[in-house]
Structure 1
Amino acid sequence: MHFSDWLRSLRSNVGLKVSESQEDRSLLPSAPSSLLSSLYLSSSSLLGLGALASLTAYWLVTRPRPMRPPCDLQAQSIAVNGDPTCRRSALLQDDTLLEFYFDDTRTAYDMFQRGLRIAGNGPCLGFRKPKQPYQWISYTEVAEQAHLLGSGLLAKGCKPNPQQFVGIFAQNRPEWIITELACYTYSMVVVPLYDTLGLEAMVHILNLAEISLVVCDLEEKAVSLLENKENGNAPKLSCLVVFNDFSKAFLERARSCQVEVLKLAQLMELGRQNLKDPVPPQPQDLAVVCFTSGTTGKPKGAMITHGNIVSNTSSVIKILEGSMDIRQEDISISYLPLAHMFERMIQVSMFCHGARVGFYQGDISLLMDDIKTLKPTFFPVVPRLLNRIYDKILGSVTSPLRRVLLRYAVKRKQAELSSGVVRNNSLWDKLVFNQIQATFGGNLRFALTASAPISPTVLSFLRATLGCLIFEGYGQTECTAGCTFSMPGDWSAGHVGAPLPCSTVKVVDIPDMNYYAKNGEGEICIRGPCVFRGYLKDPERTAEALDSDGWLHSGDVGQWLPNGTLRIIDRKKHIFKLSQGEYIAPEKIENVYMRCVPVLQIFVHGDSLQSYLVGIVVPDPEVFIDWAKERGVVGCVEELCQNPDVKAAVLEDMKAVGKKAGLKSFEQVKDLYLHPETFSIANGLLTPTLKSRRTDIRRVFQEQIEAMYSKTTL
């Protein structure tokens, strides 16, 4: 091959720009052929070695790298004062808990102001109309509107201090956040209201907090509050502010009972005409009174301070630093209720970094379309939704070959996860998971699940398929949102992480349930700057939750694992959450179902990984046979318990009684098992005081309970 031809070949095949100068050509005639041949061979070898070196260098640069955890994953928490039952985060230098991360952010108001300095005219709050792209309100606009609205509230008689409570009764939307920030701008306190509380509970809240002004999104919600004013049940209510348009009839009706009604725009214009300088809050000031829906009795108002909020969000920021910092370009989707602290803490964290929050349209059936349009990088989620995503993915794989491929791809991705590698650009992502990831917009960097436990199987599967970090946290309203959080780099499942830097967590003995702290098990107790001040005007229930040393008693039972993480294993009180986050008081439900004619005894069971209740029913032998005969079924008690038609009839009767007694749909059992033998002291299912031994009943009927939950059609 001629040298010039070789150069051209090299140029065309490798794509290198090699010059073929006149000087090169002048050398060719005098060069011996053997020299040219040797030169060609050596150059080819060099080219091959160069290509190999380039490929090796490319692989070294682009190969997946494991995430560097912020601490030793085998020692994620440290014993306080040498006591292994009481632990704090390994990220702390000593036992001093974290109160704030940034020196200039000591309140929720400060955190938004920091985001305002970072982002300025950059996008802050997003919303959309059906089938339209997202529209954005800038940080500057949000701050200006909050200033106007806060001034308008003052013009309507609200006081700029933390004794002034303002109600918000609305779905997630930008006006919710603007109203909240308006309150914080003048040191006022937000009191969220929500539909599932029920009108009776909302009247209780209005009166307990002495709320005179409520901001609503829709006329219908304002009407429901007005009706209580008309009935004399909400005497303090004097002003309703509505986001949307309202009818003249409603306006006249409100005037007739001395309630003023304003559009949000009118109140902001009033503020413009009476603009006041901000009166920012202090860390010790109340920010929110968050009423828990509860399960028995009236709702309790957890008093959350600005210091609580900042310590909690700062702790998450501390955990994520270096490995998964929140960035200005990050986007979160807002659909979880703003009336609960979980969603609020997420948004405060986003605002602190000048990031964006896009709101769903208000219709949960359109959520996936909103997500696909918004393309969020951060996805706050609850286990129930993750379970649905998991079921939908598995349900969409119908052919045996695709099922085998999916299982293999998941295993390969899980193997990477176990070594600390999290990515969405592997071969398996491109071949198998790309459509799944595209459903979520294709930009997810991380997600956070909380509110209820999640199955380790589901969590590991979705970490692999979504190709993003999925953190798990644990907490409750009374500790602002979270007290534990999974550590970056630890992608094991079956625990809720180590204590947040703002909290010390310990377990204490529960002798009645055979849980002892010396074994690393017991009731979970939390102390630190994230723990609430107490329940509003309720010293008795405050004393039940907070002991004299400031420890919050959660009512949950935890177990310390060898690596310093916490596992939730039981519930001290017979109150639990379903997977969608609804609290259940089984004994209250059991007392209702006891009114059913055929029911002698009943045990209502719920699983925090499931979305519905099941029951074990012991029929009353004195009436059961005749009751069944009236429905055309004959037999002894044992035979009747095995009859599916009889079971269906009992279930129908129970649902009717439950509905009449006011049980909500999620409080109704969806399936039951009929058991012919009564619970007794002799068989170990009743205590000497004839109370159900719930742990033992659950253990004895575990097989039947699992069988009922295996019916996916419920």
Structure 2
Amino acid sequence: MSLDLDTLSFILLGSISTVALLSIRNAKGPDVHPLLLNSQADPSRLRHAGETAIYRSRMHPNGSPLLMTMDRNIRTLHDLFENGGIKSQAQAKYLGNFNGQTYEWQTYDTVYKRVQDFRSGLAAFAELNSKTNDSSSFVGIFAKSCPETMIAEQAANSHSYVTIPITANARTTLLSHILESTSLTTVVVDKETLPILLSVANGTSVKYVIVNGKAKDTDLKLAKEKGIELEDFENIEALGSSKPVEKVVPGPDDISSIYFTKTKTGKKAGVILKHKNVLANIAAYIAIMPPNQKVTSADRLLQSYAPGNALNRVLIGMMTYVGGSIAFGAEIADDEEVADITSLQKCAQEAKPTIVASTALPMKQIKERVESQYGNSFLYKRGYERKKNLLLSNGRLVVDNRYDMLVFRDIRQKIFGGSLKVVFLEDYGDIGDLSMFVRVVLGAQAVPTYNRTEAAGTITASMFYDYSANGSSRGAAIPCNEVKLIDLPDEGYLATDYPNPRGEICVRGSNVFSGYWNDPSATEDVLDGDKWFMTGDIGAWQPNGTLELIGRKK
């Protein structure tokens, strides 16, 4: 029997792909086969005028369905919580809170019980309706990231309520805008954010406030004057424990959360994210981890994102699914110009995380601090150049050569506790040689990402082992979405630009939002009839299928 050319080509391509996926294991070989680095995405064969080809992850190429979940039995965030570490790691550490000296840990079993109690207590305390997908089901979370904010969010999601996460350092103008836009009646706060909420509560719909921590007498008095019913977080749990309520399980198309972010026109609007959107991004993060970097129950995430950042929920979901642990206490707000890296390092030294995810800001400051202390030493400079050469020339990341023993291991121990494996970096600009610093000095894989709230977190992520990528590269599309660029002739960016097609970045997929809350005009500005989200960001395709960020539309 003879084989035609198309069949032979298909078999050959399959063989090459299989070989390329195998990392070379010997000490002198690169960490990954060069063929994988040279072709990181799958572009469509056809494209429309004024647009580039549609680029997809090679895990879910053009013609195949986009990734939606990691398990067919998991369709919502409630399913993920019920079927993740709760089942496999019941007695293992799950959520840790830093008390200034050490971490206080709660097990999966403990957290599961607290979620059930808080869910029932919330249902009994506040006048909320499940599964309405409107303001009657909204629960605001105006607080810092901690075990209690995660418990409140999961309790709300498990009862088909909709959470409105608000960053603790949000300006009062934004807070007032959110309260007015959503008609929030119920808000979970820290004792530190309670006075801020009360200061803007006049004339709003706020009626029920749950406080994590002991409220001051002055705040209790002010709440009473404003007709707001105030209750402690612990009391809500106790109420739920004494009066359990049957849970109301959400569906994939139910709204999980509404995140307020700046649109491309500059105004603040609420991004509607359904359970299926967030779940798709969680599944994508799990999928892009290579076999020898897979996240497991042994991993620990140092949580530095605020509740108002959508990626916060994605990373918590990833760790929850695999049964890993999450260390809180190192939160850094998205809009901070100077990060408190002393506090960050103190948390890290105690938590000893294997995974860190943050904006590039704190990592840049850590790099500056390390270079100011060690940069002039012969061992540091010589070791840096030698290890950098191994990365660029040999494609190898090493953590146990003589320079690691002499200088870098001590730095790793002092900064992140010595167990770090992966750093996810988020930044809209050129991060320069920050990824190289992470790999050489911290001995961890650096994965720059391109994130938008409207995509439930991440759109593209750099490939592990892509050591020669420039500081503006953000990798290929993740498996749950597809990306294209469209012409911006007024700004001189065209899909026909050679050798790098350029234009406005557009994304479509399982993770992309369905619109802005109560703002159809803003939605129409960014979502076309085919569900493409036009980000307002400008990018360029590299020959290997990775996306380079150029800037923002004027």
TM range (shorter): 0.7 to 0.9
User: Any residues of structure 2 matched to 1:466-615 within 5 Å, and which?
Assistant: 466-494=442-470, 495-519=473-497, 520-573=501-554
Residue number among 389, 401, 407 corresponding to 1:432 in the alignment: 407
Name the aligned partner's letter for residue 362 of structure 2: L
Deviations 1:337-370 (A, max 9, x none): 1210122211111111000001126693422111
> 1:101 matched to which residue of 2?
70
Of 202, 214, 218, which residue of structure 2 is paired with 1:245?
214
Contact 1:212 1:238 in 2 (8 A): yes
Alignment partner, residue 86 of structure 1: 54
| Contact 1:169-1:215 at 8 Å conserved across structures | yes
**Contact 1:333-1:358 at 8 Å conserved across structures:** yes
Matched, 1:170 2:143: yes
Corresponding residue for residue 225 of structure 1: 197
C-alpha displacement at 1:461, in angstroms? 2.6
- Structure (1/2) with the larger helix percentage: 1
Cα distance in 2, alignment partners of residues 275 and 192 from structure 1: 25
Matched residue type, 2:526: A
Distance (whole Å) between structure 1 residues aligned to residue 120 and residue 389 of structure 2: 56
User: C-alpha distance in 1, partners of 2:447/2:128?
Assistant: 40
Letter in 1 for 2:350: T
In structure 2, distance between residues paired with 1:478 and 1:546: 10
The equivalent residue for 2:11 is: none
Question: Which residue, 379, 384, 388 being the options, matches 1:414?
Answer: 388
Q: Secondary structure at the match of 1:172?
A: coil
Q: Is 1:458 aligned to 2:434, yes or no?
A: yes
Shift of 1:315: 1.1
User: For 1:85, what is the secondary structure of its paired residue?
Assistant: coil
**Which of structures 1 and 2 has the larger relative contact order (alpha carbons within 8 angstroms, sep 6+)?**
2
**Cross-structure match for 1:75:** 39
1:445 to 1:269, Cα distance in 2 relative to 1, 3 A: same
Question: Which residue identity does 1:462 align to in structure 2?
Answer: V
Q: CA RMSD in A?
A: 2.1
Alignment of 1:346-365 (within 5 A): 346-360=315-329, 364=340, 365=342
Identity %: 29
Q: Which residue of 2 aligns with 1:117?
A: 87
1:76 partner letter: Q
Match of 1:206 in 2: 179
- Structure 1 residue 126 displacement after superposition: 0.5
Q: CA deviation at 1:194?
A: 2.4
Indicate if the aligned counterparts of 1:129 and 1:361 stay in contact, CA closer than 8 A.
Answer: no
Tell me how far 1:297 sits from its aligned partner. 6.3
- The change in CA–CA distance for 1:559 and 1:192 in structure 2 (over 3 A counts) is same
Measure, in 1, the Cα distance between the counterparts of 2:348 and 2:34.
31
- The amino acid of 2:463's aligned partner reads M
Q: Which residue identity does 1:393 align to in structure 2? A: V
Superposition pairs of residues 382-393 of structure 1, within 5 angstroms: 382-393=359-370
- Which residue in 1 is equivalent to 2:418? 442
- Quote the residue 1:45 is aligned against: none
TM-score by length of 1: 0.68
Whole-angstrom distance in 2 between the partners of 1:196 and 1:369? 21
TM-score (norm. length: structure 2)? 0.87
The question of whether the paired residues in 1 share the 8 Å contact of 2:281 and 2:511 is answered with yes
Q: Is the contact made by 2:258 and 2:271 (CA closer than 8 Å) also made in structure 1? A: yes
Match of 2:120 in 1: 151
Q: Cα offset for 1:301? A: 0.4
Listed one character per residue, the Cα deviations across residues 640-675 of structure 1 (whole Å, up to 9, x for unaligned) are: xxxxxxxxxxxxxxxxxxxxxxxxxxxxxxxxxxxx
1:339 aligns with 2:308: yes
- What secondary structure is seen at the aligned counterpart in 2 of 1:475? strand
Q: CA deviation at 1:293?
A: 5.0
Q: Tell me by how many angstroms 1:150 deviates.
A: 0.8
Residue by residue, what CA displacement relative to the aligned partner does 1:158-191 show, whole Å, maximum 9, x if unpaired?
A: 2222331100111111101000111011011110
For the pair shown, the structure with the greater C-alpha radius of gyration is: 1
Q: Does 1:182 align with 2:155?
A: yes
In structure 2, relative to structure 1, the CA distance for the partners of 1:297 and 1:61 (3 Å cut) is closer
CA distance in 1, matches of 2:442, 2:504: 34
Once the two structures are TM-superposed, the CA of residue 120 in structure 1 deviates from its matched residue by 1.0
Q: What SS is found at the alignment partner of 2:193?
A: helix
Contact map agreement 1:67 1:488 (CA 8 A) in 2: no
- 2:381 maps to a residue whose letter is R
Could you say if the C-alpha distance between residues 372 and 69 of structure 1 is closer, same or farther in structure 2, counting changes exceeding 3 Å? farther
Judged with a 3 Å threshold, the aligned counterparts in structure 2 of structure 1 residues 360 and 195 are, in CA distance, closer, same or farther, namely closer
Aligned partner of 2:106 in structure 1 is 137
The reply to whether residue 216 of structure 1 matches residue 180 of structure 2 is no
- State the distance in 2 between where 1:568 and 1:405 align: 35
Q: Which runs of 5+ in 2 are unaligned?
A: 1-23, 333-339
